[in-house]
Amino acid sequence: MIKAERACVEALKEFQSKRFVEVVPFDLAAAYECSLLDRAAINGSKDRKDGVDESWQKIKIDRQIVATAKTKRCGLMVSQDVSVAANCVRVNIDVMNIDDLPLPPPSSRLEPDSVATTNVDKTPSRQVLTSYLTLTPKTI
C-alpha cells in the first residue's frame, strides 16, 4: 500500500470511530428508494438528470447518498451540494448548509489557543470541526 492510500485508510478509520458516524451499505432498501428518486426525476422533467447540469455519475451517487439516508431514517442532511439538497427536499429530509450550523454555547466552545488553523488561510482545521461535532451531537 502506498503512503497516500495508507493515509486515506487511517483517516477513514478515525472518521468511523466517532460515535456520531455510522457507515452503512447501499442495500436493497436503498436501491428501491433510489429507483423512486429516479422515477420522480423522470416524471418531473422527462429527463433522467432532472435539469441538473452535472455528470450522470455524480447525479447517481448523490441519489444513492440520499436514498441511503432515507432508509436509515435520517432527519437532517448537512451538505453544500445543490443536487443532494434537492434530492433531500424531494424525500422530505431536512437539509442544512454547513455554514448554517448553530455554534455551540459559549461554555462549550473551544478556547482560541486550542483552535488549530492552517498556515495558508487561517481557517479552522478538520480537528476543530470534529471537536465541534463531538461537543454538540444533539443539536445536529
Residue-wise pLDDT for 112-129, tens only, equals 555 554 444 444 444 444
- How much is the CA Rg of the chain, to the nearest whole Å? 18
User: Could you give phi then psi for residue 76, rounded to 5 degrees?
Assistant: -145, 130
- Mean residue pLDDT of the chain comes to 78
Cell of 20: 456520531
| Orientation angle between helical segments 56-71 and 82-90, nearest 10 degrees | 40
132, exposed or middle or buried, with CB in 10 Å at 0-12, 13-18, 19+? middle
- Find out whether 66 and 77 touch, Cβ atoms under 8 Å: yes
- Find out whether 41 and 91 touch, Cβ atoms under 8 Å: no
Q: How confident is the model at residue 105 (pLDDT cuts 50, 70, 90)?
A: confident
- Find out whether 105 and 86 touch, Cβ atoms under 8 Å: no
Residue-wise pLDDT for 82-96, tens only, equals 889 889 998 999 999
Q: How confident is the model at residue 132 (pLDDT cuts 50, 70, 90)?
A: very low
Angstrom distance (rounded) from CA 107 to CA 96: 24
Strands (E), 53-93: 76-78
- One-letter identity of residue 88: C
Predicted local confidence at residue 71, as pLDDT: 94
Average pLDDT over residues 15-25: 83
Angstrom distance (rounded) from CA 38 to CA 108: 43
Residue-wise pLDDT for 44-56, tens only, equals 777 788 778 889 9
- Find out whether 95 and 89 touch, Cβ atoms under 8 Å: yes
